[in-house]
Amino acid sequence: MDYEQMNPIQKAAVALVAFGPEVSAHVLKGLPDDDIERLTVEIANMRDVPAEIEEKVIEECYQVFMARQYVSQGGIDFAQQILEKAVGHNKAREIMKRLESVIKSSGFSLLKDIDPKQLTSFLQNEHPQTISLILTQLAPQHAASVLAELTPELQSEVSLRIATMEKIAPEILREIEQTLQGHFEQSIGGGVTASGGAKAVAEILNLIEASAEKNILQSLEAEDPDLAAEVKNMMFVFEDITLLDDRSIQRLLKEVETKDLAIALKATSDEVKGKIFSNVSERVAVMIKEEMEFMGPTRLSDVEAAQGRIVEAVRHLEEEGQIIISGRGGKEEIIV
């Protein structure tokens, strides 16, 4: 049994067995029938689980439980900060991504299978605040598809409302869920926490087609320049360099100073370092690594500043059409 290859149901089954029958029975009572059936089948088919696998599953459960508690105490950003101190940036990001997915999937789950055009048809006459709330509960790719179908005026209004959205009263969420249930004639369950803000807009705009993105950002800049800048800063972060193809990486490196690159790589993932080093000559790779070692301990603020300059170069090159960021919305571009 390989921990990295285990799916959520398998992990949940291992956790329930580890927690014992009394706790497991209590947990199962609160689950939908389909989930109970899947879990019980998984438990029934389970063979001996190595101690190290069980320990990793329990540790993951503990981290998610603590993350939920941190979110309830101070919100998602607060939880992210606490987790980063405890388990590091990459692990914290992974936990929060999983937790946000769980939070969003607990309600409005019926929307994930609805065609964007059909959903847009339903939403176009709704109040922009209602549209904004619903879009925050969709996966970014789905939300981007729906946003792209709205009129330019609605795109801008909805994006601004998402960016400035705070927590929504539970009774309002229940009312919207009931409306959706009545319209689509499907059942909806669970509670929902609305999660808007600049990050939500950035995730959506990263996936929407370029023309709609430009229109929305221009409107945001006219309405609230500081908020627009915050959204832009979140749209492409240094770790997203892994989204660039090799040709784009090579083009970017022509615009970046070696010293900036060495500083920026001091505090980043092995995946990003691998992406960079695989696109330079062995001589240049050695030179960058020697520069990183020579400079010694570096202030985090200096690292972030260097990363920021490289991100600005990425944005500039993308605006000029010289590089491609994979995963962006719209029609697939072909370069010949």
- 16-60 pLDDT, tens digit each: 888 887 777 777 777 776 777 787 778 877 777 888 888 888 888
8 Å CB contact between 307 and 266: no
Q: Which residues face 244 on adjacent strands?
A: 325
- What letter represents residue 79's amino acid? A
- What number of other Cβ atoms are within 10 A of residue 278's Cβ? 10
Question: What's the first-to-final CA gap in the chain, in angstroms?
Answer: 46
234 Cβ contact list (under 8 Å, min separation 6): 198, 199, 202, 203
What pLDDT score does 275 carry?
A: 92
- Whether residue 336 is predicted with pLDDT greater than 60 in this model: the reply is no
**Is the Cβ–Cβ distance between 123 and 131 less than 8 Å?**
yes
> pLDDT value at position 261?
92
* Alpha carbon distance 154, 109 (integer Å): 24
- Asked whether residue 258 carries a pLDDT value surpassing 60, the answer given is yes
Cβ proximity of 207 and 140 under 8 Å: yes
pLDDT at residue 20 in the model: 81
Judge whether 165 and 201 are in contact, CB under 8 Å. Answer: no
Cα 200 from Cα 231, distance rounded (Å) = 9
* Integer Cα distance of 297 and 106 in angstroms: 44
Confidence of residue 210 (pLDDT cuts 50, 70, 90): low
Tell me how far CA of residue 194 lies from CA of 40, 65, 77, 172, 261, in angstroms: 32, 19, 14, 11, 38
> Cα separation of 212 and 194, whole Å?
24
In degrees, rounded to 5, the angle at the alpha carbon of residue 319 between the alpha carbons of residues 314 and 321 is 95
Predicted confidence at residue 248, as pLDDT, reads 92
Q: How far apart are CA 52 and CA 25, in angstroms?
A: 24
Supply the DSSP string of 133-165, one letter for each residue: HHHHTS-HHHHHHHHHHS-HHHHHHHHHHHHT-
Q: Which residue has better confidence, 47 or 109?
A: 47
User: Cα–Cα distance between 263 and 303 in angstroms, integer?
Assistant: 5
User: Does the structure show a pLDDT above 50 at 186?
Assistant: no
| Cα atoms in the 13 Å half-sphere on the side-chain side of 248 | 24
pLDDT of residue 108: 57
- pLDDT category of residue 273 using cuts at 50, 70 and 90: very high
The C-alpha torsion from 68 through 73 and 76 to 80, rounded to 10°, is -80
pLDDT: is 236 or 281 the higher one?
281
- List the one residue out of 75, 74, 73, 95 whose CA is nearest residue 84: 95
Count CA atoms closer than 13 A to 91's CA, side-chain side. 12
More confident residue, 284 or 22: 284
Mean pLDDT of all residues in 105-115: 57
Q: What is the spatial distance between Cα 89 and Cα 87, in angstroms, rounded to a whole number?
A: 7
pLDDT of residue 48: 78
**What are the structural domains, with CATH classification, of the chain?**
3-104 (no CATH), 109-234 (1.10.220.30), 237-319 (1.10.220.30)
Rounded Cα distance, 276 and 273, in Å = 5
Q: Across all residues in the chain, what is the average pLDDT?
A: 77
- pLDDT tens for residues 159-178? 988 888 776 665 666 677 66
pLDDT in tens, 309-335: 898 888 888 878 888 776 544 444 433
> What pLDDT is attached to residue 72?
59
- State the pLDDT at residue 330: 40
Question: Comparing 213 with 75, which gets the higher pLDDT?
Answer: 213
